[in-house]
Amino acid sequence: RRIDPATIADDPGFQELCESVGRHGVLQPILVRPLAVPTAEGIRYQLVAGERRWRASQANGHELLPAIVAQFGEPEARIATLVENIQRLDVPPLEEAEGFRQTLDALSISQKELAQLIGKPYHYVTNRMKLLNLPESCREAVRQNAVSPQHAVTLAGFPADVRDAFLAAAVKGMSWQKLNDAKKRWEQVESFVLPAQREAVAALVARGQTAGQISRKLLAAEAGPAGSAQTVALRTLPGLQRLARQGWLQLSDEPVPVDELIAALQADLRHLKGAKAVP
């Protein structure tokens, strides 16, 4: 990556490199290529890989450092620079993704071709590229190392109005597998959650509540406090919602007394069991 001289002091890894170069010198040569047109001062070279080593040498007052001169064209130079960067253990995921994007655009190659050129699995490149299309809240969480790139890609799949509940759970340590499970649970309940309930229900899902537990909470909320006339909106019942989506039912918006609904459903259930028992 190109190092911003203004931020070098804040980079602990670079400071460690400076100390190492001060004690031992540059042990790994930098990689340069000659520029096509010589100048009045002679042949000039373009740095291809090793900018951190070069800057560490400058910081220590070294005028000379070992270099390998390679006859690279523009495509090869870009790939060499990219490989140098991704071999660093501390390269930030978003920075790596941006490097991939710049190389893809400059060389007009596919992600599969790039993966082959840099020796990475194809899925590694595609997953990194997904980071560039994430919502800003997810990108910032990755930037701050609050969540992993895997977490961020999964979080992007949640609707924007409920994403923060799951982002907060991921920041607190929810594993990637549990986040995926939470996404499946949300998809199970989303269709029967009213707009005003979405954020509250998302918080319940993020805390590990199942679809059944959430349905019971919604029913209790619809029924009202104890001692009042208990009613429920049919559209909040997941089973009836599924039948309605398949076109088998039309659900009224009018609330139905809970006791009457239970009695009716129990009678229908007895009827269905009897019908099933008939050979």
Q: Which tokens go with 216?
A: 């019971």
Give residue 89's pLDDT: 55
- Catalytic, out of 19, 51, 98, 136: 51
Q: Digits of tens for pLDDT over the chain (279 positions)? A: 455 555 555 667 777 778 888 888 877 787 788 877 766 777 788 777 777 788 888 888 888 888 878 776 777 777 777 777 666 656 789 988 988 888 888 788 899 988 888 888 999 999 999 999 999 999 999 999 999 999 999 999 999 999 999 999 999 999 999 999 999 999 988 887 888 889 999 999 999 988 778 877 776 665 555 544 567 677 777 777 777 777 777 777 777 777 777 777 777 777 777 776 666
Give residue 227's pLDDT: 46
Give residue 141's pLDDT: 94
Q: Which tokens go with 138?
A: 């997810």
Which amino acid appears at position 237 of this protein? L
Annotated active-site residue 51? The verdict is: yes
Give residue 88's pLDDT: 63
Nearest by Cα to 234 from 218, 210, 247: 218
Q: Return the number of other C-beta atoms located less than 10 Å from residue 57's C-beta.
A: 22
Give residue 79's pLDDT: 77
Give residue 114's pLDDT: 87
The answer to whether the CB of 92 falls within 8 A of the CB of 57 is no
Give residue 157's pLDDT: 92
